[in-house]
Structure 1
Amino acid sequence: MNKKVFIGRKLKEARMYRGKTIDVLAKETNINKKDIIAFEEEKYKPTLENEMKLSNALNFPKEFFKQADNTKITIENTHIRPECTIPKVEQISYREKLVMAHKLMSFIEGYIQFPETNLPDNLNKNDEIEDLATKVRRYWELGDGIIGNMLTLLEINGIVVSDFNVNKKGALSFSQKQTIQDSTRYFISLGNDKKSACIRNYDLAYELAYIVSAEANIQAKKFSKDEFACAFLLPKETFTKDLKLVNDLEDYIELKKKWIVPISAMILRAYQLGEISYKKYMHLMNEMDKKGWLKKEPLDDNIKATSPILLKKAVEMLLENNIMSKASLILNLEKWGLYIYPDDVEDLLGFKEGKLSEDKKTKGSNVTKVNFKSKKK
């Protein structure tokens, strides 16, 4: 058997995953920066001592750096909001975490059947944004009613949502299109939305706008995500009727309870629909600013959001049905070619710390195929 050797691109992958620059890693390991660059470019291999230093600093098992990827994932595109203020290295880290989440999903798919990506195939780049929003609503059979939970809606239609960033100050939601062979998946990472259902609904509708623009072959920069999110969450006919009952800013609080959408989005939608003038729109936004509502709106703490369950529930099913134990889950991931520590698996799947700690009982290798969720017909 050939001895496994250190793979330079795996070092770069681990470094980016942890959000560390070469300078930072050099300082933490006391390894010359030029040597780290040479390791990543595979000009030469690190010594055993340096391998251990890199493994410890990046918190990856040493086997991670010697195991070629079992699954080739191509990042088709990444959508990060232009107003995002998170440092570049952290943005790269988020991208790598979504790739790792897909690798985990690929492993779990050997046991669990996930919903297929379910998006309309008649999205056209010449369509108006209002028409695109309506097409998606009709395809998903939503009618013109309220969408109380965007997260569940996306998950049952095969769009994977992760919450590993929700406690990260300043983090914004972002999306990524990934492909394994001919199979394409969209992944969304939630931002620091304070677990408010209203904010989360809008953020996910905003990311859905990116997905729709990608499917319709529209340049993301030329597609108003805010306009789509408002049109998708607040359909013209039904929302216009509710606007007839609105006279001042406080009236929007009652509408927020009903539609589970931020007040700022409803005011923007009212302007888009021509129900208020630009002067009225600016007046309402100035009033929100004076009240401090642009930073925190009423009810944000009262209407709590649900958390992603697609990947989390799948692993819980494996454990609860005795298909694997906590220990054998990590062991089987390693056999499959994915060497990461349990705390990273917990982070990516949304488990509480310690959920996947090793236990003494290890199940056998019998495999059961479980149908988690079939594609909606």
Structure 2
Amino acid sequence: MYLENMDKEFNPERFRVARLRRKMTYRKLAEQTGLSSKTISKYENDGINNPPSNDSLKKISQVLSYPVQFFFEDDIDEISTEAVSFRALSKMTAAQRDAAISAGRLSLIVNDYIQDNFELPKQDLRDLRNFEPEIAANAIREHWALGSRKIVNLIHLLESKGVRVFSLAENTLDVDAFSFWKDGVPFIFLNNKKSAERSRFDAAHELGHLLLHKHASPYDSAIDISLSSSRVAEQEADNFASAFLMPKVSMFSAAPNYITIDDVIELKSRWSVSAVSLIFRMHKLKLITEWQYRRLMEEASMRGYRKKEPNSIPREKSLIFEKIMPVLAKEGLGVKSFAKELKLPLDEVTNLMFMPTLI
């Protein structure tokens, strides 16, 4: 059985990760493989004692689009649901949540390989729990010597401070972004279906969670989430993101006395943020009145700026992946062979590394 894998046993936990990543229920996977739900359950829950046959494994591999070798490697590190900060948890289904967490677990495989073969920046985040969001944003800007200037590329900045940033190719707007700490290393995941401006805000939002809610869920429980605690944590991260991307000093120096929606479109490029985020920040800082805020928001909605950003900026990508892939290529590891080396599907690797167009 499994002639090419005789030295290793079938790993049911890896089977579970692949199934959840593809959002497959027992029933759906059974239907597409021609196996029974009971059999699928047996493989996942008692696969060491009752592993699939060669024929069954081949069917599973084809349906899930995971290489057979993937199911024979060591366990993938767990990511506790309680340790994960989801951007829009209340809107997510269990399947979406489990698929996103599974992507996070796959990223650990990619990260371990890169970390073992390259010298990466050490994490340089501060523990800012119990700080007010505005104060925390100023504190980390001071710690990183950013002053009040614009952050040109947020992903590059985060990576230079030791944050591992990965991309998510989730075909849903309900999975914005998420983050967690793992063995002292901060991770952020961004949905690449969002606008470039929204993605920057999501990255700053997740940085807020990493700093303000370090090593713990910002919620009361992974199962029975208190709406009040969830909203407080999300609002704190939103306020942090606004202050971090649009410092008060630069906002006060740039905002005109009377502002129109066209002024908003022109001004937003100063900080590479969305029109709506800029309007919200100006209102928060009392640079515009309540009446102006409502009028600008209404006009932004009428123009469709909530769905399609005007004068959109280029999408940010990982600098680390951009630098290491040519090095790996010189050693004979192109993207396809790199995925094969990791025993991962090509689409999972390219999606995580901001390269979905390569497949």
SS class of match (1:5): coil
SS class of match (2:314): coil
CA contact (8 A) 1:234 1:269 kept: yes
The structure, 1 or 2, with the larger RCO (C-alpha pairs under 8 Å, 6+ apart) is 1
CA contact (8 A) 2:88 2:175 kept: no
Q: Deviations over 1:313-367 (max 9, x none)?
A: 22322223x3756676456x3xxxx422444333332336668xxxxxxxxxxxx
**2:196 is aligned with 1:192:** no
* Superposition deviation, residue 14 in structure 1: 1.2
**2:312 is aligned with 1:306:** no
Distance 1:291 1:328 in 2: 46
**2:279 is aligned with 1:267:** yes
Amino acid at match of 2:343: Y
* Superposition deviation, residue 34 in structure 1: 1.4
Distance 2:337 2:280 in 1: 51
Summarize the Cα distance change of 1:315–1:133 in structure 2 as closer, same or farther, 3 Å threshold: same
Equivalences, count:
339
Distance 1:169 1:102 in 2: 23
**2:157 is aligned with 1:153:** yes
Distance 2:178 2:15 in 1: 24
CA contact (8 A) 1:8 1:39 kept: yes
2:18 to 2, 14, 20: 14
Summarize the Cα distance change of 1:316–1:93 in structure 2 as closer, same or farther, 3 Å threshold: farther
**2:134 is aligned with 1:124:** no
CA contact (8 A) 1:117 1:185 kept: yes
* Alignment RMSD (CA, Å): 2.8
**2:220 is aligned with 1:215:** no
Distance 1:310 1:188 in 2: 15
Amino acid at match of 1:149: N
Summarize the Cα distance change of 1:296–1:156 in structure 2 as closer, same or farther, 3 Å threshold: same
Distance 1:249 1:111 in 2: 49
Summarize the Cα distance change of 1:138–1:59 in structure 2 as closer, same or farther, 3 Å threshold: same
* Superposition deviation, residue 218 in structure 1: 8.1
* Superposition deviation, residue 130 in structure 1: 0.9
SS class of match (1:115): coil
Matches within 5 A, 1:155-170: 155-165=159-169, 168-170=171-173
**2:314 is aligned with 1:294:** no
Q: Percent identity?
A: 24
Q: Deviations over 1:43-86 (max 9, x none)?
A: 633233212221221122223222223x6354462222337756
Distance 2:343 2:20 in 1: 16
* Superposition deviation, residue 219 in structure 1: 2.9
* Superposition deviation, residue 150 in structure 1: 1.3
CA contact (8 A) 1:270 1:276 kept: yes
Matches within 5 A, 1:1-377: 4-42=8-46, 44-69=50-75, 72-75=77-80, 77-82=83-88, 85=91, 87-121=93-127, 123-125=128-130, 127-165=131-169, 168-170=171-173, 172-179=175-182, 182-194=183-195, 196=196, 198-215=197-214, 219=218, 221=230, 222-223=232-233, 224=235, 225-300=237-312, 303-320=313-330, 322=331, 324=333, 329=338, 333=341, 338-351=342-355
CA contact (8 A) 1:73 1:178 kept: no
SS class of match (2:185): strand
CA contact (8 A) 2:190 2:203 kept: no
Bigger fraction of residues in helix: 2
* Superposition deviation, residue 232 in structure 1: 0.9
TM-score calculated relative to the size of structure 1: 0.80
CA contact (8 A) 2:129 2:212 kept: no
> Deviation above 4 Å: which 4+ runs of structure 1?
83-87, 323-331, 352-355
CA contact (8 A) 1:165 1:171 kept: no
Distance 1:11 1:216 in 2: 28
SS class of match (1:143): coil
Q: Deviations over 1:16-38 (max 9, x none)?
A: 12221212101101111112112
* Superposition deviation, residue 116 in structure 1: 1.6
Distance 1:308 1:173 in 2: 18
* Superposition deviation, residue 169 in structure 1: 5.0
* Superposition deviation, residue 193 in structure 1: 1.9
TM-score calculated relative to the size of structure 2: 0.84
SS class of match (1:316): helix
Q: Which ranges of structure 1 fall in alignment gaps of 5 or more residues? A: 356-377
Greater CA drift, 3-12 or 212-221: 212-221
Greater CA drift, 73-82 or 270-279: 73-82
Distance 2:346 2:87 in 1: 31
Q: Which ranges of structure 2 fall in alignment gaps of 5 or more residues? A: 220-229
SS class of match (1:53): helix
